[in-house]
Structure 1
Amino acid sequence: MLGVAIAVFTYYTTWVFVLPFVDESNIINSFFLPRDYAIKLPLLLLLLAGLAVGTFIGNVLIKKAQKEKLKKSKKSD
């Protein structure tokens, strides 16, 4: 996982900070997506991560409420 993280960091850093200074006809540009994706992809990943965290928290809260409801119903019986 560390290797993947280092590779992604290196790729993104090169894409954002080095490519603007490289001529567009250079072969290096063929290895990278268009520059507007440098903003769109991280925003999409951030949105998906927030959605996943929100879904997880909501699921935990719903299960906790169901357990408490079940406990209350058993106590009243």
Structure 2
Amino acid sequence: MALDKSIGVGMIFIASFVFLYYSIWVFILPFINESSFIQQFFLPRDYAIKLPLLLLLLSGLFVGIFVGKVLIKNQQKQKSKKKSQ
């Protein structure tokens, strides 16, 4: 198996685990007694909103930084082409 395929399979397993963990945390855990041993494997419920919001904000920040860098590089390329003509 090639390296890129094994990385892809690993990413699928990680994404599946995160989806399953979050789904159990949000949809099933509120109906389980708070004194149950299962509760110790999950964060408090208020993080169920805070963590995805934080991830959304960070991903938006990184996309914005990436787009900004690409625009700056393209502008610099165009300036260097105009100077060479």
Q: Same fold (TM over 0.5)?
A: yes
What's the offset of the Cα at 1:51?
0.6
Q: Which amino acid aligns with 1:57?
A: V
- Is 1:33–2:59 an aligned residue pair? no
Question: Cα deviation per residue 1:13-46 (whole Å; 9 max; x = unaligned)?
Answer: 0000001000000000000000000000000000
What's the offset of the Cα at 1:53?
0.6
What's the offset of the Cα at 1:52?
0.7
Taking every aligned residue pair, what percent have the same amino acid on both sides? Answer: 64
Note the 1:1-77 alignment, pairs <5 A. Answer: 1-75=11-85
Q: Which amino acid aligns with 1:59?
A: K
State the structure with more CA Rg: 1
Gaps in structure 2 of 5+ consecutive residues: 1-10
Q: Distance in 2 between matches of 1:9 and 1:29?
A: 18
Q: Which amino acid aligns with 1:24?
A: E
What residue number does 2:3 align with? none
Q: Distance in 1 between matches of 2:40 and 2:29?
A: 11
**SS at structure 2 position matched to 1:53:** helix
RMSD (Å), alpha carbons: 0.4
